[in-house]
Structure 1
């Protein structure tokens, strides 16, 4: 019988964050050896946690992997910068920038409401191929002419694989440039962040595939018993890509970097991105002014998400964090990723957090260990 690979923890923590290393070690000790976990944290723009799991294979801390909907956070930061610049107005109708979007009763929907997932065009009925999801301009054109599942603005539901195409088309119409181009110019490149919306070919050797979930028999029974409503089946493209790992591992998705869920990166890159926006990095200025942050974090979607059932799911674009992590401030913002990754920024403490893993965590979305890891970070930072 082959010997089981030993999982160890590599990396560093700043003084006072030793308990975070202990908690991370406890987490990875209970996971399969190929989970590929990474944790990075900044406080006040300084990196205070940089940890990753290693086995006998000696995996590197800078390895890259698909991060799925963590990507949305990058797209929303681009949008926030454009609002701050006066290029976009949250309270202008989407159709003001993109006239074709007015079709099928969507003419009154504002950019704010679009970012809050209120449009009602949650996906392609009948499913879309991976290649179709990777082509955002074509996807946006299809969605513009689509009839919404509900009267726009009257409810909200997670537009899981299409929100990036919708917001991205607004950005493209307003600026003549894509979200990916602006992200590269204003966010990724200036800070040297290992988080890409469009993976350069030369980085393919550092990139690992995401691994499908390995549920226990009990977990498999829970998944099989789950009843998916129409909105969820459309939003998660069940008819088109029943195994979403195929999307994350697609070379075309990685190359195009669709803004809904096509980003590739690591925990260092994502935590650094949020730190650049919230506090600035290593003594530099913050990208977002306090008034801009307030416009994107001061309003929660009331009631339940009609796709996922989550309560108070969104701020403006970003996911609400305090509902999931009650130790964070009311204006904490961020976004999780399908395989278990999580990213958030907490203005009240100046903390930014990113956790990534390659092995899909049950049941999908933010992995359960983020609750205990985040709490360890919060306690260390506020002790």
Structure 2
């Protein structure tokens, strides 16, 4: 049932992955782990190891990595007002507050069209004049479909390039990553359409903060399986890739990979892995949800280092780096889970097996 390899000492991770596959017949999933810049786990079941999948909000991890690099280069300043970069934005907040989902701009009145959800520039245009859904800076809530567009517009104003372009030039191409914000047409044959959950959950009230943030009644399966979304790579919810690509991205962030130094210096890691969101997320209900941009992984997996950072994706995908242990981890799956994202429950056992190894 399980294909791929696990390095000596990581056999128990393969065993844990096989248990997951037995527990969910028909599972199509991938698992990849790096230790100190070297891949030690490369496993898959029900598909190929190089199959490309819709990974939704996993792309926010790439967004935050690019932003961290720009802060490291002194191109962006975390405590500068966003209006200094983007004067047309009607909300007065700092870049730090924007990164930590405190802008209150979780959606727009009347919702977004499918065309807008596919294109970060169109999203940013709609959001510029939108009144926030709470007083900016006073609370936080997951900006599910729009954070990448908001941050991306700041990046475009500061650099003249999109998040997608910078990620491709500075991260994806140098490291040969199978993780994309904009899937080239020639790779479409490797894409496996996302499958709906076997058990459907009721949609949130479209007038609730959750419903506004997730643009209810948007069909995420239909959205991801649209070529325009994959081509444009909206950075909040349009990423495509596999476990190998995501794990390698996080490995490159913290470790030497292919004789290249880590993308993030210790002081940058220290800044971006500080807790920034104490209390309850107004959209998801999660507790202490975010570091600086990245999701706080130790909240979900308490055995991880407190500075572990990463991001989940709506199909139950999970990816992160634990800098203290030198671990980069990614689990991806093809079929939606009932109940949506946040990292599929099987990640608990898989992460535990990795840490035990």
Residues of 1 paired with 2:159 and 2:190: CA distance? 33
1:100 CA drift (Å): 0.7
1:183 CA drift (Å): 0.4
Q: Say if 2:53 is the partner of 1:77.
A: no
Structure 1's consecutive aligned runs of 4 or more residues displaced over 4 angstroms after TM superposition are 225-229
Larger Rg: 1
Q: Which moved more, 1:78-87 or 1:293-302?
A: 293-302
Residue 342 of structure 1 corresponds to which residue in structure 2?
318
Q: Say if 2:191 is the partner of 1:203.
A: no
1:82 CA drift (Å): 0.3
1:225 CA drift (Å): 9.1
Residue 79 of structure 2 corresponds to which residue in structure 1?
91
1:265 corresponds, among 192, 217, 241, to 241
Q: Secondary structure at the match of 1:323?
A: helix
1:278 CA drift (Å): 0.9
Residues of 1 paired with 2:33 and 2:259: CA distance? 16
1:261 CA drift (Å): 1.1
Q: Secondary structure at the match of 1:49?
A: strand
Residues of 1 paired with 2:203 and 2:74: CA distance? 48
1:174 corresponds, among 158, 163, 167, to 158
- Given that residues 197 and 263 in structure 1 are in contact (C-alpha distance below 8 angstroms), is that contact kept between their aligned partners in structure 2? yes
Residue 165 of structure 1 corresponds to which residue in structure 2?
149
TM-score, normalised relative to structure 1 = 0.91
1:124 CA drift (Å): 2.2
Q: Say if 2:38 is the partner of 1:38.
A: no
Residue 337 of structure 2 corresponds to which residue in structure 1?
361
Q: Say if 2:15 is the partner of 1:22.
A: yes
1:229 CA drift (Å): 6.2
- Given that residues 321 and 333 in structure 1 are in contact (C-alpha distance below 8 angstroms), is that contact kept between their aligned partners in structure 2? yes
Residue-by-residue CA offset, 1:70-128 (whole Å, 9 max, x unaligned): 01000110000000000000000110100011x2xx22x00000000000010123221
Gaps of 5+ in 2: none
Residue 118 of structure 2 corresponds to which residue in structure 1?
134
Equivalent positions of 1:314-325 (< 5 A) are: 314-325=290-301
Residues of 2 paired with 1:64 and 1:133: CA distance? 21
Q: Secondary structure at the match of 2:289?
A: coil
Residue-by-residue CA offset, 1:264-321 (whole Å, 9 max, x unaligned): 1000000000001111214431010000011111133010000111000001100000
Q: Secondary structure at the match of 1:73?
A: helix
Residues of 1 paired with 2:256 and 2:346: CA distance? 28
Residue 138 of structure 2 corresponds to which residue in structure 1?
154
Residues of 2 paired with 1:100 and 1:269: CA distance? 36
Residues of 2 paired with 1:247 and 1:224: CA distance? 18
Residue-by-residue CA offset, 1:171-216 (whole Å, 9 max, x unaligned): 000000000000000000001000011100000100101100001x
Residues of 2 paired with 1:378 and 1:300: CA distance? 26
2:348 corresponds, among 332, 347, 371, to 371
Equivalent positions of 1:287-306 (< 5 A) are: 287-306=263-282
Q: Secondary structure at the match of 2:60?
A: helix
Residues of 2 paired with 1:254 and 1:277: CA distance? 24
Residues matched between the structures, number: 356
Q: Secondary structure at the match of 1:322?
A: helix
Residue 235 of structure 1 corresponds to which residue in structure 2?
213
Residue 52 of structure 2 corresponds to which residue in structure 1?
64
Residue-by-residue CA offset, 1:7-49 (whole Å, 9 max, x unaligned): x10000111000000000010112232x320000001000000
Provide the aligned C-alpha RMSD in A: 1.3
Q: Say if 2:41 is the partner of 1:49.
A: yes
Q: Secondary structure at the match of 2:202?
A: helix
Q: Say if 2:227 is the partner of 1:254.
A: no
